[in-house]
Amino acid sequence: MNLRIPGPTPLPQRVIDAMARQMINHRSAEFGNMLGSILERLRTIFATQHDVLPITASGTGGLEAAIENFFSPGDEIIATSIGYFGNRWIEIAQRHGLRVIILQKPWGSAVKRDELAAALGEHPACKAVLLTHAETSTGAVNNIPILADIAASRFGKLVFVDAVSSLGALPLETDAWQLDVVVTASQKALMAPPGLSFISVSDRAWNAHETAKISRYFFDLTIAKALLKEGQTPSTPPVSVCFGIDASLDMILEEGMAEVVARHKRIAERFRADVVSAGWSLFADPSCFSDTVTALNVPEGVDGRRMMNRLEKEYGIAVGGGLGSLSGKILRIAHMGNVSQNDMDDVVYALRELKGG
Ligand SMILES: *Cc1c(COP(=O)(O)O)cnc(C)c1O
**How far is the C-alpha of 333 from the C-alpha of 294, rounded, in Å?**
5
pLDDT confidence band for 356 (50 / 70 / 90): confident
d(CA 199, CA 161): 10
Is the pLDDT at 357 greater than 60? The verdict is: no
What does the buried/exposed string (b/e) look like for 275-284 if buried means 16 or more CB atoms within 10 Å of the residue's CB? beebebebbb
> If you take atom 12 of ligand 1, which residue's CA is the nearest one?
164
Pocket flag, ligand 1, residue 183 (CB < 6 Å) = no
Neighbours of 175 (CB within 10 A): 14
DSSP letters spanning 73-124: TT-EEEEEESSHHHHHHHHHHHHTT-EEEEEE--TT----HHHHHHHHHH-T
DSSP state of 213: -
Q: Is the CB of 164 under 6 A from ligand 1?
A: yes
pLDDT computed for residue 132 by the predictor: 99
CA gap 232, 235 in Å, rounded: 9
**Counting runs of H as helices and runs of E as strands, what totals does the chain give?**
12, 13
Residue 244: its H or E element:
helix 239-255
pLDDT score for 217: 98
Query: Which residue CA neighbors atom 2 of ligand 1 most closely?
Result: 164
Q: For residue range 303-321, list pLDDT tens digits in order.
A: 999 999 999 999 999 999 9
CA of 59 to the centre of ligand 1 (A): 5
Helix (H/G/I), strand (E/B), else coil: 163: coil
At residue 24, the pLDDT reads 98
Atom of ligand 1 nearest to the CA of 62: 9
pLDDT tens digits along 106-149: 999 999 999 999 999 999 999 999 999 999 999 999 999 999 99
Average confidence (pLDDT) over 206-226: 98
- Determine what percent of the chain is predicted with pLDDT higher than 70: 100
Tell me what percent of the residues of the chain surpass a pLDDT of 90: 99
Residue 281, φ and ψ in degrees, nearest 5: -110, 150
pLDDT of residue 220: 98
Mean pLDDT of the chain: 97
Query: Cα(262)–Cα(248) distance, rounded to whole angstroms?
Result: 18
pLDDT band of residue 355 (cuts 50, 70, 90) is confident
Consecutive H or E run containing 320: strand 317-321
Mean pLDDT of 28-38: 98
pLDDT above 80: residue 280: yes
